[in-house]
Structure 1
Amino acid sequence: MTGRPVELVVEGLRYEVDGRTLLDGIGLTARPGETVGVVGPNGSGKTTLLRCVYGTLRPAAGRVLIDGADASALGVKERARRVAVVPQDAAGTFGLTVREVVSMGRSPHKRFWEQDGPDDRLRVARALETVGVSALAGRRFDGLSGGERQRALVARALVQEPGLLALDEPTNHLDIRYQLEVLGLVRRLPVTGLLVLHDLNLAASFCDRLYVLSGGRVVARGRPEQVLTEELLAEVYGVSARVAVHPETGAPNIVYLPERSAGVTPAAGPAA
């Protein structure tokens, strides 16, 4: 259901808008088959970074390499065969059924206006089943709940057969069961994953490595147990917390102490 996992390398990425620097010299690597999480407070540049990776924003400096190829030099269809995106929202889907939205993921593999063939329909059916929305295939996409829409967008990305799956808050609007199922699915797929996440405990459980952004810069990188320290949470997020090893998973487990966090001020950085 996916292509061959690719290597992603981001080098010296800078993005500016209206005189403000939203990304400042970002460097990031995701090895083939690895799941990499991007975390940080609101406004730190996470979604901007993801949009530069999949090509909806053009950086002022730096480059994005996919298996060594400069992504900016790839054609739209070629880039879409290598990178699939699960955004926070889905534009251009008004009036379409779930099956039609998911079928849009086959576009990079077809000629303009080419209709779906038997193989396309089979791949769409499998993707719908994989994310648990087969029963919704005939319903209008814009009539679904937030969680149902999110799962349909994951199915659309899967039928694109990418080597890199970029997800912007994939657990948004999902209840706990589907948060675990969607992130578990990303881990099981033969694909390189790049995830923007707010929930640090989920990031610790499902990501091989984390990049922490603050003020448009990478302020920490490494395995979750190396990155998610009490000191970093206080400095970057402005919260007091206790970090322990989860007895079942071995991943860091964060317990926040809200009554002690009021006076903690996050580190400053460029406007983002």
Structure 2
Amino acid sequence: MLQVKNISFSVPEKQILHDISFSMDQGKFIGIIGPNGSGKSTMLKIIYRYLKQSSGQVTLYENDMEQMTRKKIAQEMAVVSQETPVLFDFTVKDLVMMGRTPYKQWLAQDSKEDFAIVEESMKLADVLYLKDRTLGQLSGGEKKRVMLARALAQQANILILDEPTNHLDIEHQLQLMDLVKELPITIIAALHDLNLAASYCDELLLMDEGNLHRKGTPEQVLTEETIKQVFHVQAGISKNPFTQKLHLFFYAENVGRSEDK
């Protein structure tokens, strides 16, 4: 479905990503993990065309994404970023309605179908009760869920999430992850929380210093040796008694970066 081929990305005096390649199958939940500064968000921004790679190619259904229009990309990919880049204080229902924009002609009116999709998206993201509030009246967690509702209203085949659980309490973290896990689409998420990644992702991409360090299932990627090497902490691995998924616990004493790092 999606292929990343030999992607590198540089800014003046620094290379951020180094010759990264991988592919993603339709319907999978893919997690991108790694320490701060490893290139997770940069990789996502290249995938959804916010940034242009220095070299390499991203293809969607074997089509070069550089040749696709922004409207077509928005029909295929919905994004919930770390930031909330809204310049005006729209109401929640108006903001979620913006998710229907890729399907409209210029100045076209909202249809009954649009209103139905927007209401269902707000219900799924648990923000329908906020529909008449403005963005400035919301907490950080509420804003995150509103942005998810807007992304759901796009009805795209791929949902990209950059640190989706930031600003959310434990209950809403699990609700959001349960919701996106059940969606019949491809999910690509950059995650800090390794236990959430282990519980919800079908496959993980482990980034380290701009390189793709390892790719595979959570069991293949989240080993004690790999966690010590990349995250510089001791790790113990057990099973979550509720889900039977991997559960990690950490211990930082006597584990640090070598002097040359």
Per-residue CA deviations over 1:33-69 (Å, capped at 9, x if unaligned) read: 0000000000000000000000010001111111111
Q: Which residue of 1 aligns with 2:65?
A: 71
Aligned-partner residue type, residue 256 of structure 2: V
| Alpha-carbon distance, 1:267 to partner | 10
Q: Which residue of 2 aligns with 1:32?
A: 26
* Greater CA drift, 37-46 or 60-69: 60-69
Q: What does 1:101-120 align with in structure 2 at a 5 Å threshold? A: 101-120=95-114
CA contact (8 A) 1:240 1:264 kept: no
1:21 and 2:15 aligned:
yes
SS at the partner of 1:254?
Answer: strand
Aligned-partner residue type, residue 255 of structure 2: G
Q: What does 1:23-62 align with in structure 2 at a 5 Å threshold? A: 23-62=17-56
* Greater CA drift, 115-124 or 161-170: 115-124
Q: Which residue of 2 aligns with 1:263?
A: 255
RMSD after superposition = 1.5
CA contact (8 A) 1:98 1:139 kept: yes
Q: Distance in 2 between matches of 1:195 and 1:125?
A: 24
Aligned-partner residue type, residue 257 of structure 2: T
| Alpha-carbon distance, 1:249 to partner | 2.1
TM norm structure 2: 0.96
SS at the partner of 1:59?
Answer: coil
SS at the partner of 1:138?
Answer: coil
SS at the partner of 1:94?
Answer: coil
Q: Distance in 1 between matches of 2:56 and 2:258?
A: 27
* Alignment counterpart, residue 186 of structure 2, candidates 192, 211, 235: 192
| Alpha-carbon distance, 1:95 to partner | 1.3
Per-residue CA deviations over 1:62-102 (Å, capped at 9, x if unaligned) read: 11111111111100100100011000112124311111111
Q: Which residue of 2 aligns with 1:98?
A: 92
TM norm structure 1: 0.92
What runs of 5+ residues in structure 1 fail to find an aligned partner?
Answer: 1-6
CA contact (8 A) 1:233 1:239 kept: yes
SS at the partner of 1:139?
Answer: coil
Aligned-partner residue type, residue 199 of structure 1: D
Aligned-partner residue type, residue 30 of structure 2: V
| Alpha-carbon distance, 1:246 to partner | 2.6
Q: What is the aligned residue count?
A: 261
| Alpha-carbon distance, 1:218 to partner | 0.5
Q: Distance in 2 between matches of 1:219 and 1:191?
A: 26
SS at the partner of 1:89?
Answer: coil
Q: Distance in 2 between matches of 1:191 and 1:151?
A: 18
Q: Distance in 2 between matches of 1:14 and 1:89?
A: 24
Q: Which residue of 2 aligns with 1:4?
A: none
Q: Distance in 2 between matches of 1:176 and 1:232?
A: 27
Distance change in 2, residues 1:209/1:266 (3 Å) = farther
Aligned-partner residue type, residue 88 of structure 1: Q
Aligned-partner residue type, residue 221 of structure 1: K
Distance change in 2, residues 1:147/1:221 (3 Å) = same
Q: Distance in 2 between matches of 1:152 and 1:73?
A: 31
1:165 and 2:159 aligned:
yes
Q: What does 1:135-146 align with in structure 2 at a 5 Å threshold? A: 135-146=129-140
Q: Distance in 2 between matches of 1:134 and 1:266?
A: 50
* Alignment counterpart, residue 155 of structure 1, candidates 146, 149, 156: 149
Q: Distance in 2 between matches of 1:247 and 1:9?
A: 36
Q: What does 1:170-189 align with in structure 2 at a 5 Å threshold? A: 170-189=164-183
| Alpha-carbon distance, 1:18 to partner | 0.9
Q: Distance in 1 between matches of 2:74 and 2:258?
A: 37
* Greater CA drift, 39-48 or 249-258: 249-258
Q: Which residue of 2 aligns with 1:250?
A: 244
Per-residue CA deviations over 1:171-215 (Å, capped at 9, x if unaligned) read: 110111111111111111111000000000000000000000001
Q: Distance in 1 between matches of 2:258 and 2:87?
A: 39
Q: Which residue of 2 aligns with 1:83?
A: 77
Q: What does 1:214-233 align with in structure 2 at a 5 Å threshold? A: 214-233=208-227
Large movers: runs of 4+ above 4 Å: 266-269
SS at the partner of 1:10?
Answer: strand
